[in-house]
Structure 1
Amino acid sequence: MSTAAPSPLPLVAYRTAVALDEPFRPAAAPAPADRLPGQLRAVLDLLSTDPAVTRLGLSADSVRSLRDADFATARRALRALLTVRAPDPLPEGATAGLDALLGGERLTRPLVDARRLPTLAESLPGTRHPAADRTVLWHGDITTLAADAIVNAANSALLGCFVPQHPCIDNAIHNAAGPRLREDCHTVMNRQRTPEPTGTAKITRGYHLPARYVLHTVGPVVDGPLLPPHEHALASAYRACLDLAGEVDTVRTLAFCAVSTGVFGFPKGPAARIALRTVADWTSTHPDRLDRVIFTVFSEEDRATYLTALADASA
């Protein structure tokens, strides 16, 4: 006799545990731009004896020696260290040091206000997309987008990518947000006690991201021909994010990455059509819930894919 798959943890079961409704208050003010190199050196010194150093095949002395390296080299080393690091308590002083560094870096990056982006109705006046007046197609870096919430394409462990310098969106979002993001995901998964099912979602705060929240969803992996179950699972992932965002009153703008189209192998054209259709269906039944839903693409090829999908839908 088959057994039912475990149900994913509902928001009410972890909302308080991750302090979802509390504003993020960093332990230190952002470091000014001219002090970022010194702040980076101080953080590396504090983390030089962390267990993650050994996981990288380094020693405490080799990490401390990075104070003599150029900023880019030392920053890559810190990113790698945080990427492989388990969601354990940081050494004394490291939390404040990282807050000063990450907060300062955020101030050096240009931010994009999600509410000021033109809707599809404004940028593509001829489109017949049903939700054109509240959806946006934006080509840019989702970690610089000041939306209320952004969507992360996660894996079933939901702890982020542990491969240093890996180009996935999961890695980029965790790098910009800082280690508290992994700690929150760990808190959620400890309560759930099972891997995150495909087509579901969780929400945490965004910490050093310009977005206040991050929605983590697991899309389907396509290793071979695209099948109806893959399409249903991807639509479910989009719906799960929309439904979960709908449970948090302060989310009015929501930005999606192109879920499952990277290392998960989902063909980009069908994925764009599913994303557009699922968001249109959801907003038609929740007409006043979200002000903007942004489809974020990172390459010109991805943007062209969405434009083709929109043109096909309007034909």
Structure 2
Amino acid sequence: MTLRQLAAPPTSTGTGAVLSCRGLRKSYDGRLAVDGVSFDIGKGETYGLLGPNGAGKTTVISMVVGILPPDAGDIRVAGLPMTLRALAAKSRIGYVPQEIAVYPDLTGRENLRLFARLYGLRAAAARARAEEVLEVVGLSGRAGDRAGTYSGGMQRRLNIGAGLLHRPDLLILDEPTVGVDPQSRNAILDDVTALSGRGVAVLYTTHYMEEAHRLCDRVGIIDAGRLVAQGTQRELTALVGQCDRVRLGATGDLASAGEALERLGSVRGIAVGADGIELLDTDARTALPAILAAVSGAGATVRSVTLEEPDLEAVFLHLTGRSLRD
């Protein structure tokens, strides 16, 4: 698979996609901020949009949620065209911005009831939905406390809850874990995983590569306004020629074991040492049974196995020349 294939617009027409973006372009004062960006997100899929500062992520999101018109291109949410006045399309989106947007003097429960009413839910439905969402984001035990007494992580979870009240088809999370403690961050990531499991499509931006690795079904890498590559993590790492690294702690006839491994079609490199073997494989998880069988059949005994999958950070660095947090 080539860089051109992965960077090209998706081959589907967007039919059935919760979010479909085609050829998005936007300029500011003659400077092209977004240049031909195209991607889809399906039901229950988490799509990570990754890029260094100034790459165009915020501009893309602003166009997707309908607060910034594209100069060219097409956006559809649940099949509905997105424009500045497209209330039907906007009603299908839950947007959670980087900045915490809750009322500190209201309790968690009062915040959600207020936002539910703003979404158009009747009073009884707003009360019931607020309780459901408090349970989803793990804040039922603090529902009666003022939001201003919450930790930063709890406020962000309340923020996410506000975006879920109207049962959106698409949830947009713009760096939702910035500035939160590790425990709260882990809880937020668990929330996102659960939401995708319930069929919500998620567009997720982050400056933490480990979050993308943990959450995202597919990743799009944007740099200087262009989507330079997109695909599954396996597709992206294959794009730059990376392989899984397998370390076998082993004893016995290691030389013969190395020769046996060389005959496996997926193995790309082998180093035999005094206490084991290190090898590169294009798909070690699939090939591991064959690897172990080859070593055992050659008269060696495996004592331990360590598998390291390709690093998405290295892929990002290769494609953009910068780290994600630059």
The verdict on a shared fold, with TM-score over 0.5 as the criterion, is no
Larger radius of gyration: 2
- The two structures have a TM-score, normalised by structure 2, of 0.29
Higher percent of residues as helix = 1
TM-score, reference length from structure 1: 0.30
More strand by share: 2
